[in-house]
A = this chain, B = another copy of it.
């Protein structure tokens, strides 16, 4: 059941080829990448050292030929184990010139003094380097136009390969099994912080590599926040317990949640959960190749509104996922991204039972040629009961 770790060199070659096609089509001579997922996507470079904000890392993808890494010396050995061959290092930290002159020289060498360098600067992107250093870099290449490469990166990363899908599928499967065991492991009186701890231990025991994201809540009749860490409150009869897990296997996330009733839930809560489950089903059925993000949103919203609830108040009802917990596209009325085979989505409708109490439910799917396919083991419509 467990897929192999890592990627073949052919996969990186295919990513690069698709990327260079998209670059050519949008008039970009080279990409300048600074963020973990983008550097990893083109190189295979993996380290949790991105936790340290001290050092910037750069990958430059030319219009032809393999990516060039411009990185702190501490990363040389790990980068040398990837398919990247041209690795240039400086002894970081060196705040007076934190890679800036080396990136400048490398860009000049690869694309010359007059060129278009694409940097992701649009929605859902950040530049992971000091802003002052970016200003120095662009000033040192006055003939180079630094343009927005968000679309190139988005169009590449939104569509997953079979190898990527296998990793996401695996972590969804393992996490589904861990969620299924929650009623055996959790009881009234357990503090929410202890529920989180034991759930993380169970996930690791079952084989996930990490749980970078775990949020949840336990409150009577629904909850108000859907992004909170645990408190120290013991679980009580009448609580709805929600756990939302972004677990990782071999660098790929799942992102879905489960709700549980401590004792018997109120009719309102049970009806809300059934409605969310129906909304997810409607979203899934709609998520055919050629449909749009907005249409999937509309299908879920129709179920919620048909049952008398407002459509989700948290801004969207799902999103892409993969190397990050959330990726493009967004399931909103304004996002008209056409779905294509290989896209992986979280369907995530939420509703308010009353102004202070809400519910959220989430599943993960992959778009296939012949339609959507569950990656998670979907939750039952009836809210599972604990105790």
Contacts and interface: CB of A to CB of B under 8 A. Distances in A.
Contacts of A212: 48, 51, 212
Interface stretch (A23-31, A222-230, A277-285): A222-230
Given A46-B229, A326-B53, A92 B132 contact: no
16 contacts: A46-B229, A47-B227, A49-B213, A53-B327, A54-B326, A73-B313, A77-B225, A81-B225, A93-B124, A95-B124, A98-B123, A121-B131, A126-B127, A126-B129, A127-B127, A132-B148
A315 B232 contact: no
A64 interface: no
Interface stretch (A13-21, A170-178, A200-208, A262-270): A200-208
Interface of A: 5, 46-49, 51-55, 72-75, 77-78, 81, 91-96, 98, 119, 121-132, 134, 148, 197, 200-201, 204-205, 209-215, 224-229, 232, 246, 313-316, 319, 324-327, 330, 332, 334
A55 B326 CA distance: 10
Nearest to A46: B229
A74 B314 contact: yes
A191 to B, nearest CB: 12
Contacts of A332: 93
